[in-house]
A and B are shown apart, each in its own frame.
Chain A
Amino acid sequence: EDQVTQSPEALRLQEGESSSLNCSYTVSGLRGLFWYRQDPGKGPEFLFTLYSAGEEKEKERLKATLTKKESFLHITAPKPEDSATYLCAVQAGYSTLTFGKGTMLLVSP
């Protein structure tokens, strides 16, 4: 059974204080690992896809990396507008995603 564990459950940062979110996974034959952002009362918004160990993707202050057992979402010099819940998901087959429970990030001014 595919499993995704995200840590920490919640993270509070000061504006400008860089940090990382972790996504550990167990899957038989990883097809892709996906990061999403979810704002309160909204649907998740796709951020990144990572396919193989060593791959990295960047978007503004976010950088996602992948190893054979985990992925990190690095947030550099975060701003209050980066506050959201960040979800990680893995895919083994062609259809089903297994999501983690998310990390709730709060960035204070």
Chain B
Amino acid sequence: EAQVTQNPRYLITVTGKKLTVTCSQNMNHEYMSWYRQDPGLGLRQIYYSMNVEVTDKGDVPEGYKVSRKEKRNFPLILESPSPNQTSLYFCASSLSSKNTGELFFGEGSRLTVL
């Protein structure tokens, strides 16, 4: 089954405790991206990756890091989480970096930072 898998799905943590949200896709997609979704603000892009070892900032990259060492994986790292990073996070992928609007989304990871 084609899917984008995120872990953990739910996490409660405390300010300053480093965490990683993993994302893996099994569709051999070239392009991957992270979004956060907040009430009243909609979906906003955090980081994206056009291909292995190629990453770039989206609209709201502050406080986040990413890496793309393998095609299938695109982890999101919060080095020192703060309460304003409490959000619903989605990883997404698309087949080609030339067609990045047709995204396949994961189920989401709900993060609460106390």
A-side residues, CB < 8 A to B, are: 31-32, 34, 36, 41-46, 49, 87, 89, 91, 94-97, 99-102
Contact = CB atoms under 8 A, between A and B. Distances in A.
Contact of A101 (B31, B42, B97): B42
Interface in B47-95: 48, 50, 56, 58-59, 90, 92
A44 B40 contact: no
9 contacts: A34-B101, A43-B4, A45-B105, A91-B101, A95-B56, A97-B101, A99-B43, A100-B42, A102-B42
A96 B45 contact: yes
The 9 closest A-B pairs by CB, nearest first: A43-B105, A99-B43, A101-B42, A34-B101, A32-B101, A91-B101, A99-B42, A44-B105, A43-B90
Interface of B: 4, 31, 33, 40-45, 48, 50, 56, 58-59, 90, 92, 97-98, 100-108
Contacts of B102: 34, 46, 49
Contacts of A100: 42
B48 A95 contact: yes
A24 to B, nearest CB: 14
Given A91-B101, A97-B100, A101-B41, A42 B56 contact: no
Given A96-B59, A99-B42, A101-B40, A43 B107 contact: yes
Nearest to B49: A95
B113 to A, nearest CB: 20
Nearest to A91: B101
A95 to B, nearest CB: 5
Contacts of B43: 44, 87, 89, 97, 99
A98 to B, nearest CB: 8
B50 A95 contact: yes
B90 A49 contact: no
